[in-house]
A and B are shown apart, each in its own frame.
Chain A
């Protein structure tokens, strides 16, 4: 096993811990921190997979943007209800069955298909990706930007709109 492997399994552990916190934690903040650890761990794994750009984006957008957004949401709703933010779960059994079924299905039926798949190992550089984004996927990139803009505006509008 190489050092990369150790890192990989280390990130895996962090992620599993985060997932665990999200799945079972009773406190919303813990869940949010669990999500944070998951996202950070994912960024680490992206980096290990030599997708440096994505790792950075992951950190910046997700861990920075989305998570902050969510934390705001948590704080705002908590302020409104004046109640401690407890997580309640329902249909845990059904949910876990479906989730486990999904997991097993994926592992058992789909997983073996990748056993033979091995990575070529050619690292995609930041440069090539940037080139691709701005050449091959330009339109998509522009559209994504527009979508982002619209959604930000929409979010602001929705959040701020007053009830009549």
Chain B
């Protein structure tokens, strides 16, 4: 395989290197200049963001590919390089934008916390890995970055490692992700063994058999289920909220979990119809489980986590049923409004939490902030509106795109419309609680400006501005949507769903019911139970069994064999001593006895002479008489 190297674009390596530099430098200077790390990391990220913006402007159309050999396997070469397309460039820009905003936000949010250097280092590393994942031209490199984002996610979820819950959540997140990674690995290996290459440009040009595509597609689906929290591997995401809130915004809402969807979009051509159908089912299931989960929670971060799951399900279903572009568009808008929601939630949590206590995240106790934190709440509400798909927001547009694509399939259309109803319901529920005028028991903290700024930017980004010329039409957004003819009834349906959703929410949640659902109604509970019963307990039992086997059976056989051997050697030793030596001693004794006997012939004792004589006589007599008798 020859390595194509066409377009060298200096901005790409620079953009990727800057967060990596941030990672290294943060660790390097962490111990001594801890205060400098947030500023330095943010500055580096800003520079990186500038690079990605330049790339975005450069590559608004067309693709470019660059690769150098990474390592060689016999005659095959694994290249490392980038493959820029409008989609990947956009995604790269989104990653860097959100990351930059989260960096800025974190300066305020993490102030005074321990381990800041570590925190910013891993944020930088995550940005690097995510950027690499987005632009990489070789799937093996993509896989590396895919694992590395999981690693940084692990480190960041477990940032407050003194809390046992954080450690457990991190482990769980990593292991569930790892299960998905194995799916991706198997997919790559299948591609390697059947297509002979892992280069994306080469793969796009290749015609693979349907069977291969199904197998590869299902494996990739497993991968994206792990990474993007699809059913049934979604239960790690609510737990991952144990990490710092900005991390949840960046990794577990906007970018990393979207990486699965992004990969799905990128590798859409590798999916057969069957695999797509499975993906659609998985996506729709996730959509409902997530939506239901969001309705059952009172922890604001968990609501958002389930909402993310639900939206990711929508994206997967959209990619599978509608078009990759429609799914990607939703990914794009979701990144902004969900990051905005998380950052807003973080700001509110910051406002109501008291120092030295566990952070207050329960929406039932977070009301009454309208007077003191108006901007934060407005930004939060705008993002929530975008999530619910209100007109004039980006969310409305991307949802519109999805609905337009499936409008001919009444079943799928109905399902999606129902799902958007659920989305509206939980968004409205959350907002109602937070906007309620219940007074706060204790004094609230002001939210620093450095945290409000990114929030504001994101809420602006959640509006239609900048995406589309028309607030109500998707067609004017991206050229790819031009081909879709508009259908006004779709918009009508979507608006109707919205109105009904808000209405129902108003009816249900106006009085802020505080009753919690029984735990068994929370998806987390039974997914955890399923994980425990299907995977963890059997694995632990099996491992105990193998350990037992190792210690008892294998070693037991060995010990039995050695005891047997020793016993045998004892037996052989006895045989040797008694039987074989016995022969020898018998012979010697006989010889000795014989010698003694014959010595008694000449021992000078008359009686023995006599005895011999008698014996001889006797023998002679017997012999003679015998002869006589038988003559």
A: which residues have CB within 8 A of B?
Answer: 90-91, 94-95, 98, 101-102, 105, 109-110
Which chain B residues in 583-629 approach chain A with CB under 8 Å? Answer: 607-608, 611, 614-615, 618, 621-622, 625-626, 629
CA distance in complex: A91, B611 (Å): 10
Q: When the two chains form their complex, are residues A109 and B615 in contact, meaning their CB atoms are under 8 A apart?
A: no
CA distance A6 to B75 in the complex (A): 125
- B614 A98 Cβ-Cβ under 8 A: yes
CB-CB < 8 A to B607: which residues of A?
Answer: 90-91
**What separation, in Å, do the CA atoms of A95 and B610 have in the docked complex?**
10
Which of these, B611, B625, B629, contacts A98 with CB under 8 Å?
Answer: B611
CA separation between A98 and B618, bound complex, in Å?
Answer: 8
Known: A91-B608, A94-B611. 12 other contacts (CB 8 A): A90-B607, A91-B607, A91-B611, A95-B611, A98-B614, A98-B615, A101-B618, A102-B618, A105-B618, A105-B621, A109-B622, A110-B625
Closest residue of chain B to A102 (Cβ to Cβ) is B618
Q: Are A105 and B614 in contact (CB under 8 A)?
A: no
Q: A91-B608, A91-B611, A94-B611 are in contact. Are A109 and B629 (CB under 8 A)?
A: yes
Is the pair B622, A105 in contact by a Cβ cutoff of 8 Å?
yes
Instruction: Tell me the minimal C-beta distance from A106 to chain B in angstroms.
Output: 8
A109–B621 alpha-carbon span in the complex (Å): 9
**Given the complex of chains A and B, what is the CA–CA distance between A120 and B611 in angstroms?**
38
Contacts of B611 in A (CB 8 A): 91, 94-95, 98
Chain A's closest residue to B624 (CB) is A109
Closest chain B residue to A90 by CB distance?
B607
B607's closest neighbor in chain A, by CB? A91
**How far does the alpha carbon of A41 sit from the alpha carbon of B611 in the complex, in Å?**
28
Contact B608 A102 (CB under 8 A): no
Report B-chain residues with C-beta under 8 Å of the C-beta of A90. Answer: 607
Q: Which residues of B approach A to under 8 Å, CB–CB?
A: 607-608, 611, 614-615, 618, 621-622, 625-626, 629
Distance of A105 from chain B, by nearest CB (Å): 6
18 contacts between A and B (CB under 8 A): A91-B608, A91-B611, A94-B611, A95-B611, A98-B611, A98-B614, A98-B618, A101-B618, A101-B622, A102-B614, A102-B618, A105-B618, A105-B621, A105-B625, A109-B621, A109-B626, A109-B629, A110-B625
CA distance A116 to B75 in the complex (A): 117
DSSP majority for the A interface?
A: helix
A135–B25 Cα gap in the complex (Å)? 154
A98-B625 Cα distance, complex, nearest whole Å: 17
On chain A, the residues within 8 Å of B626 by CB distance are: 109
Q: Which residues of A contact B622 (CB under 8 A)?
A: 101, 105, 109
In the complex, what residue of chain A is closest to B629 when comparing beta carbons? A109
Instruction: Determine the chain B residues whose CB is within 8 A of the CB of A110 once the complex forms.
Output: 625
* Top 3 closest pairs, chain A to chain B, by CB: A109-B625, A98-B614, A101-B618
Instruction: Say how far A88's CB is from chain B's closest CB, in angstroms.
Output: 12
Which of A90, A91, A98 gathers the greatest number of chain B CB atoms within 10 Å?
A98
CA A98 to CA B621, docked complex, whole Å: 12
Complex CA gap A159/B20 in Å reads 133
Tell me how far the C-beta of B16 lies from the nearest C-beta in chain A, rounded to whole angstroms: 108
Cα–Cα, bound, A91→B600 (Å): 12
Chain B neighbourhood of A101, CB < 8 A: 618, 622
Q: Which residues of A contact B608 (CB under 8 A)?
A: 91
Complex contacts, A94 vs chain B, CB 8 Å: 611
For A105, the chain B residues whose CB sits under 8 A away are 618, 621-622, 625
Q: Which residues of chain B are near A95, meaning CB under 8 Å? A: 611
A54 CB, min distance to chain B CBs, angstroms: 27
Q: Complex Cα distance A34/B494, Å? A: 144
* Complex contacts, B615 vs chain A, CB 8 Å: 98
Give bound CA distance, A91 to B608, whole Å: 9
CB A90 to nearest CB in B, in angstroms, measures 8
Bound-complex Cα distance A13 to B273 (A): 125
Closest to B613 in A: A98
Q: How many whole Å from B210's CB to the nearest CB in chain A?
A: 102
In the bound complex, residues from chain A placing their C-beta under 8 Å from that of B621 are: 105, 109
In the assembled complex, the Cα of A58 lies from the Cα of B157 at a distance in Å of: 132
A residues less than 8 Å from B614 (CB atoms): 98, 102
Which residue of B has the minimal Cβ distance to A110?
Answer: B625
A102 to B617 alpha-carbon distance, docked (Å): 9
Min CB distance A109 to B, Å, is 4
List the B residue with the shortest CB-CB distance to A98: B614
Chain A contacts for B625, CB-based, 8 A: 105, 109-110
**Distance of A107 from chain B, by nearest CB (Å):** 12
Question: Which residues of B sit under 8 angstroms from A109, Cβ to Cβ?
Answer: 621-622, 625-626, 629
Q: How far is the CA of A102 from the CA of B607 in the complex (A)?
A: 16
With both beta carbons as reference points, the residue of chain A lying nearest to B619 in the complex is identified as A101
Complex alpha-carbon distance, A105 and B615, angstroms? 12
CA distance A94 to B610 in the complex (A): 11
Complex: chain A residue closest to B628, CB-CB: A109
- Of chain B, the residue at the smallest CB distance from A95 is B611
Residues of A within 8 A of B629 (CB): 109
Nearest CB in chain B: distance from A71 CB, A: 23
How far is A107 from B611 in the complex, measured between Cα atoms in Å? 20
Interchain nearest-CB distance for B620 vs A (Å):
10
CB distance from A139 to the nearest CB of B (A): 31
- B615 smallest CB distance to A (angstroms): 6
Cα-based distance from A102 to B608 in the complex (angstroms): 16
**With the chains together, A110 CA to B622 CA distance in Å?**
10
CB A129 to nearest CB in B, in angstroms, measures 32
Chain B nearest CB, measured from A115 CB (Å): 14
Closest to B621 in A: A105
A110 to B621, CA, bound (A): 10
A75 to nearest B CB, angstroms?
A: 24
The CA-CA distance from A102 to B625 in the complex, in Å, is 12
CB distance from A99 to the nearest CB of B (A): 8
Chain A nearest Cβ from B557, distance in angstroms: 56
Distance in angstroms between the alpha carbons of A105 and B611 in the assembled complex: 16
A101 to B621, CA, bound (A): 11
Task: Tell me the complex Cα distance, A105–B618, Å.
Answer: 8
**What is the bound-complex CA distance between A109 and B629, given in angstroms?**
8
Kindly report which residue of chain A lies nearest to residue B626, judged by CB atoms: A109
Shortest B359–chain A CB gap in Å is 107
Q: How far is the CA of A90 from the CA of B625 in the complex (A)?
A: 30
- When distances are taken between beta carbons in the complex, the residues of chain B under 8 Å from A102 are 614, 618
Question: Shortest distance in angstroms between A23's beta carbon and chain B's nearest beta carbon?
Answer: 15
B-side contacts of A98, CB under 8 Å: 611, 614-615, 618
Complex-state Cα separation, A109 to B615, whole angstroms: 16
Point out the residues of chain B lying under 8 angstroms from A91, CB to CB. Answer: 607-608, 611
Complex alpha-carbon distance, A94 and B607, angstroms? 11
